[in-house]
Chains A and B, each alone.
Chain A
Amino acid sequence: MFSVNIKRITKGGFVNFWRNGWVSFATVLVMVLTLFVIGGLILSNVVLTSVIASLEDKVDITVYFRTSAAEPDILAVKDSLTKLGEVESVEYVSRAEALERFKERHKENALITQSLDEVGDNPLGAALNIQAKDPSQYASITTFLEGNILSGILDKVNYRQNQLVIDRLSSVLRASRKVGISISIVLAVIAFLVAFNTIRMAIYTSREEIRVMKLVGASNWYTRGPFLVEGFLHGFLASVIATLTFWPLTFWLGGRIQNFFGGPNLLSYYQGNFFEFFLVLFLAGTMLGVVSSSIAIRRYMRV
């Protein structure tokens, strides 16, 4: 009997969905808008995150060693830095390499090349390029370096020169993350409320029907079932439509956004994560449809 009821309820939901043509259409349309907002938030978070990450990548500090510093000592400093939890990566630039890079950078400038030749010996010290996991951690890394037993071989740490810029940038990045998250939450809540109320209206138009079903002797689940199936269908259809609308959109916007902000191409992100993306919208849509329907129908069940 259970399977027969499931079959009848499912069929009832499908038939109602079809025969309620206009109401279904309007509900799906509003849910498409809701899911579109959610999908848009996901994509803008991808852009925002990658912009923030690329800015963070640009922030690093460099430790310059005295020319007299021995390579094993420098490598010991490098090791101790790598062991720090705050450090993302450390790059060792030897004296020879530093000279090489310097020459490369100034090969157009005859004066500098000439002066280098004049000096004969390599005047440059070795260096470590340090990248922290979070820009706010450069201060503690610098303190660690300056307090190190090998600090005698340090020439200078360029954090102190760039401290202001680094601090300001890191607070801007932190703030934009927070703002991004808050805006996303507010927009998502608004979108959900709009969809919820649309479904409530749709159920409101069926209130007499619900009453009649109860009076004819339908159990609560038998009455509720078709409406939940209908809600599921609204959500499913809306998630398919919303997911598909992002295809031309990312196709059109992907290159432009990439040129403007850098970061990944949205079209390739969309294609690469198509199923995850659809899954998120599908779950959001169907949950919204089913949960809103069951909340909205409750008040009409008390017969």
Chain B
Amino acid sequence: MIFFDKVSKIYAPGSAALENVTLTIEPGEFISVVGQSGAGKSTLLKLLLAEEKPSEGNVFFESLNMSDLKLAELSSVRRRIGTVFQDFRLLPNKTAYENIAFAMEVAGQLDENIVSDVPQVLELVGLVDKAWHFPHELSGGEKQRVAIARAIVNRPDVVIADEPTGNLDPVNTWEIVKLLAKINELGTVIVLATHNRDIINALGKRVVTLEKGRVIRDEKEGKYVL
């Protein structure tokens, strides 16, 4: 469903953030991308979301080449990909409810669907009572749960999570990981970038290890080895 074909990304000449990466992600997979800071995890995810364009090679989403998409097509592909960021990236002027509803609005959903679906995902992430709070009134873990709710509300094919637990304490970290695993069980592909050893070892899912921009290990039921 997602295919990286010999992808390189070079920000400054002489140092490649990603080098000749070839990677296939199948439907329904939960794939963790691990590596030290600067190994290229975030770059990999940015290429998938077309936030950056590859210097060489191509990224395919199904049969679509992400570098060839026009702006309008790109927006529609992005609506099939939910994203969760380490820094949450919620819209500060919108409440938890409105942040989630916004993702549905841009996808062109009808008001009836918004009114019925948003409370459902809020329930799924356990934030029904905080629906009308603004991001600055929520804790880190709560913000990240809003972000996850926003990422999944359009029933995307893929959820990309870039260090989603990087700013959270261990208890909240587990809440978030369990939530991601639950979403994966419902059939959504999860691409998780992290350097949290405990999470990876406990998950027992596919692990891709990056080092200096190259894939050095790709195991079906991987462990965190560096």
Q: Does A213 interact with chain B (Cβ within 8 Å)?
A: yes
Q: Is the CB of B93 within 8 A of A219?
A: no
Q: Does B79 interact with chain A (Cβ within 8 Å)?
A: yes
Q: Is the CB of A217 within 8 A of B75?
A: yes
Which of B106-114, B121-129, B176-184, B215-223 contacts the other chain? B106-114
Q: When each residue 80-113 of chain B gets 1 if its CB lies under 8 Å from chain A and 0 otherwise, what string results?
A: 0101000001111110000000110111101100
- The distance from the CB of A249 to the nearest CB of chain B, in whole angstroms, is 36
Q: When each residue 176-209 of chain B gets 1 if its CB lies under 8 Å from chain A and 0 otherwise, what string results?
A: 0000000000000000000000000000000000
Which residues of A are found within 8 Å of B107, using beta-carbon distances?
217
Q: Is the CB of A219 within 8 A of B90?
A: no
Which residues of A are found within 8 Å of B150, using beta-carbon distances?
216
Best-buried of A213, A217, A219, A222 by chain B (most CB within 10 Å): A217
Complex CA gap A213/B150 in Å reads 12
Complex CA gap A229/B175 in Å reads 39
Q: Is the CB of A217 within 8 A of B93?
A: no
Binding site for A on B (CB under 8 A): 49, 51, 71-72, 75-76, 78-79, 81, 83, 89-94, 102-103, 105-108, 110-111, 150, 154
Which residues of B are found within 8 Å of A214, using beta-carbon distances?
75, 78
Complex CA gap A212/B106 in Å reads 12
Q: Is the CB of A20 within 8 A of B75?
A: no
- From B51, B81, B93, B154, contact of A20 by CB (8 A): B93
Complex CA gap A294/B71 in Å reads 18
Q: Does A186 interact with chain B (Cβ within 8 Å)?
A: no
**Smallest CB gap from A209: residue in B:** B91
In the complex with contacts A1-B108, A20-B93, A209-B93, A216-B103 CB distance below 8 A: yes
Which residues of A are found within 8 Å of B75, using beta-carbon distances?
214, 217-220
Q: When each residue 188-220 of chain A gets 1 if its CB lies under 8 Å from chain B and 0 otherwise, what string results?
A: 000000000000000000001101111111111
Which residues of A are found within 8 Å of B51, using beta-carbon distances?
215, 303
Which positions 1-23 of chain A face chain B at CB distance < 8 Å?
1, 4-5, 8, 15-16, 19-20
Q: Is the CB of B103 within 8 A of A217?
A: yes
Q: When each residue 46-83 of chain A gets 1 if its CB lies under 8 Å from chain B and 0 otherwise, what string results?
A: 00000000000000000000000000000000000000
What would 21 A/B residue contacts be, using CB atoms closer than 8 Å?
A: A4-B108, A5-B108, A15-B94, A19-B93, A208-B89, A212-B90, A212-B91, A214-B78, A215-B51, A215-B78, A216-B83, A217-B75, A217-B103, A217-B107, A218-B75, A218-B102, A219-B72, A219-B75, A219-B106, A220-B71, A222-B105
